[in-house]
Structure 1
Amino acid sequence: MTDQPTQRAAPLTPAPAVPVFSRAAVVASCAGFMLMGVLQAMYGPAIPALREEFGLSPSAAGLGLSAHFVGGVAGVLLFDRLYGRVGNRRIIGSSYLLMAVGAAGFALASDWPVALAAALLAGLGFGGIDYGLNQLFAVGFGHRSTAMLNVLHAHFGVGAILGPALIGAVGSGHYPAVFLGFALANLPLLLCLRGMRNDAPAPAGGDTCGDRVLRRSLGSVIAVFVALYVLHVGIEAGVGGWEPTHLETVGYSAGAAATATSVYWLMMTVGRFLVAPLALRFSAQAIITVSCAGMTVCLLAASVPALAPYAYAGVGLFIAPIFPTGLPWLNRAAPRARRAGALVIAASMAGGVAAGPALGKAIEWSGVRAVPLLLCGVSALCLAATVWLIRGLRSP
């Protein structure tokens, strides 16, 4: 990366005078994101058992993850309305409970509509945690917020490694036991909420030149941020959900495919931990540009069967920083756009909603072998959106 350091791209913002998190609350927040990763990553490896148990087509089975993301969108929008009116502890605590109850309902569901309703409920809690902790981390650590957000999201990756690994270890037919265990694991986090600041801290100020640019085109800039989040999370969910099926189709065993999917989530974790110190030196736009370009190349390489497991691992490495790095960039670019953060986080959920049925239909038309090429096209659009944002936010 050759871009200027972040300190030159935008002025440093001091951390809030009253800390938003105690050290214990930071650890608990990271654990909460780890559980979110476990939940999201378990739906894909459970697809074979779901199809057999409920007699589902590929696109219908993909609706489980989509229902989860529909609930996530609703959770983001609901808790955005409550943010600043209801204490942070109540928002995060109720979200943990919703995610636990939904996961338990999915495990115990007797038919597919009930399972979808439970996934929707789990997604509602998922969205509340996603929105609440992202907002608080984005403004709660001053100039270290980008680095801390990457650390937070790295723990999501830790959970996403564990999810497929657990399903692979016990067999997809025993997925209910894993979902029930996940539900119970949420409950101890409720004890750690006292270390979280209960009122909403004020957002950090932005760059004055950036404000002048945004006053001319605020709506279009936010729309492109939304598009970037929709597209890249669609890729993230698409690879996580369909990599096992694609690898099995091109000749890998079920165990090898599940392991490769865990490696994909592992590389997301590694990527975020690696970017955390880099975020103190390089601008967000440099990091995201390199990420989108690398992701596009890796998805193209994944269409070659011999390279596919390694290429998917590369996708995980490059996609890792986009979500956590984009939020502070948006906050600096549009500090007065109160709902911008909620819009892009909700958009990230929408990408997950669309990925399941859209990829399922595309697979029915073009075959499973086309999955990496379809996602490569979407990744190229992410790169184009990033280039547009860099030009649109360039200071006069």
Structure 2
Amino acid sequence: MRQLIMTINRPLITVASFISLACNGLALTFIGVSLPALQQHLEIDIVQAGMLMAWLQAGLTVCALLGGFFADRVQREWIIGTGCLSLGLGAVFLCIAPSYAYSLVAASSMGVGLGLILSGTNTLLVSMYTSHKGAILNIHHVFFGVGSIIGPALMGVLIIRGNNWQAGYYGAGLLLFILALIFFFSRDKVPIRGKNTSQDIGSLRELFAAGRFHIILWVNFLSMGSQLVIMLFGVTFLVQAKQCSLGEAGAALSVFSLFIVLGRLACSRLTFSFNHTSIVLTMLWLQVIMLLLIWRGSGWLALAVLAVSGFTFSGMYPTLMALTSMLFPDRDGISLGLLSTMGGLGAIVLCWLTGFVAGLSHIGIGLMVTIVACGLGLIMFQVYYPMLSRWESQSQAAHE
């Protein structure tokens, strides 16, 4: 296997994978910033706009799982290429959709592409860099953060300069089509194990029979959901509960995103010196401490802690993926697909629950949902930490 992997043009495929995930971040932030213009273009209200986001998230969640399932059966480059094509077509079609119904199809196509790119690139990279899974995945997800930073700035400039928001989608579509061609026509593709249906069913049974996989799934569910709650409700919390100005709160969220990028770079380095389980446990402790400071601290303290808390959320998802691939090396496609799906479900459930609790009382109480979620994740991982750490050490020894 190692000799086969060495024949692949790894630099080209690696860079293309990085750029593909950056396009995921770009596309998601494009939609967020251009949503008012999109509402005006389609003549829809906020409820219908929310339904667009729901269809996109549904496509992402389902295809993150399907992408992992097919990653053990077909060439992963084909999965990523299909994702790039679907995302690009959806982005272009969203600009020219003649009706709201067609825009739902375009949003679904974008969600499908986002999910396939997410699962496909993750599984492709861990199969190419078998001895540095944590490092490569953290670096990989830095590019999602870079796309998330570039997206709002680029779309904002396009809207300010003549409300030409469609140009951003057309440009992203062209880039994605080029990436699709690279993946479709790349030579010496990464070999796959070629499982059949009975083997896939057996893999699922083995995964769900393994208690360690349940722990990783639920910790990812709670942590990823909590991260999105901070990103979506953080500004509202600072303004309404801590009396910060909108400008101050928005700046804090921008710094939060920057610290996510910096944190993933730091985690990629830490994986060379520390076990993945130790990194995850440390970040879970820091998440709980910082969330308590945000909740109980004064205005400026809450503002500052929320800004830097991006560091504690940064490497959780890539590090948990690397740990999963290490513990289940023969089932990395379906296991990473399930992990991505649980992260998406966690985002949906915790965001809804936070909004529901905040509606019954106020946003300050709503934030407690995130504190409780991170606390539960910490307790679960702390209890099983010795077992997971031992299994990780055994997996590393077996690989060496």
TM-score by length of 2: 0.79
From 185, 192, 196, the counterpart of 2:175: 185
1:268 CA displacement: 0.7
Match of 1:7 in 2: none
**Amino acid paired to 1:368:** I
Give the C-alpha shift of residue 66 in structure 1.
Answer: 4.0
CA RMSD after TM alignment: 3.4
Distance 1:171 1:313 in 2: 27
Are residue 361 (structure 1) and residue 356 (structure 2) matched?
A: yes
2:217 maps to what in 1? Answer: 226
* Structure 1 unaligned residues grouped into runs of 5+: 1-12, 204-213
Distance 1:17 1:47, change over 3 A: closer
Q: Is the 8 A contact 2:255 2:308 kept in 1?
A: no
Tell me: CA distance 1:302–1:39, structure 2 relative to 1, closer, same or farther (3 Å).
farther
Distance 1:195 1:307, change over 3 A: farther
1:241 aligns with 2:232: yes
Q: Structure 1 residues 284 and 267, CA, compared in 2 at 3 Å: closer, same or farther?
A: same
Partner of 1:342: 337
Q: How much has 1:153 moved relative to structure 2?
A: 0.7
> Would the alpha carbon gap of residues 222 and 308 (structure 1) be closer, same or farther in structure 2, given more than 3 Å must change?
same
Which residue matches 1:136?
A: 124
Question: Structure 1 residue aligned with 2:265, among 244, 266, 273?
Answer: 273
Distance of aligned partners of 1:319 and 1:334 in 2 relative to their CA distance in 1, 3 Å threshold: same
Q: Structure 2 unaligned segments of length 5 or more: list them.
A: 195-204, 392-400
- Tell me, in whole angstroms, the C-alpha distance in 2 between the residues paired with 1:76 and 1:82: 10
* Structure 2 SS opposite 1:143: coil
Distance 1:232 1:202 in 2: 31
Bigger relative contact order, structure 1 or 2, given CA contacts below 8 A and separation 6+?
1
Of residues 340, 346, 355, the one that matches 1:351 is 346
- Code of the residue aligned with 2:385 in structure 1: it is I
Give the match for residue 278 of structure 2.
Answer: 286
- Whether the aligned pair in 1 keeps the contact of 2:280 and 2:316 (CA below 8 Å) is yes
Change (3 A) 1:80 1:102: same
Cα deviation for residue 266 of structure 1 reads: 1.2
Task: Indicate the larger mover: 270-279 or 214-223.
Answer: 214-223
Which deviates the most, 323-332 or 279-288?
323-332
Report if aligned partners of 1:65, 1:352 keep a CA contact under 8 Å in 2. no
1:49-88 alignment, distance < 5 Å: 54-56=44-46, 64-88=52-76
Asked whether the 8 Å contact 2:4–2:191 carries over to 1, the reply is no
CA distance in 1, matches of 2:96, 2:265: 36
More helix, by proportion: 2
CA deviations over 1:226-260 (Å, ceiling 9, x no partner): 11121222122222223333344354454444433
Residue in 2 aligned with 1:208? none
Q: Which of 307, 311, 314 is equivalent to 1:313?
A: 307
Q: Partner of 1:126: helix, strand, or coil? A: helix
* Residue 143 of structure 1, CA deviation: 1.6
Partner of 1:36: 24
Map Cα deviations across residues 348-372 of structure 1 (whole Å, 9 max, x no partner). Answer: 2222333443333333223334454
Report the secondary structure of 2:189's partner residue: coil
Sort the Cα spacing of 1:366 and 1:137 in 2 relative to 1 into closer, same or farther, 3 A. farther
Mapped pair 1:126 → 2:114: yes
Q: Distance in 2 between matches of 1:381 and 1:359?
A: 16
Matches within 5 A, 1:143-222: 143-167=131-155, 169=157, 178-193=168-183, 194-195=185-186, 197-201=188-192, 218-222=209-213
Counterpart of 1:142 in 2: which secondary structure?
Answer: coil
On the 8 A contact 2:90/2:108 being kept in 1, the answer is: yes
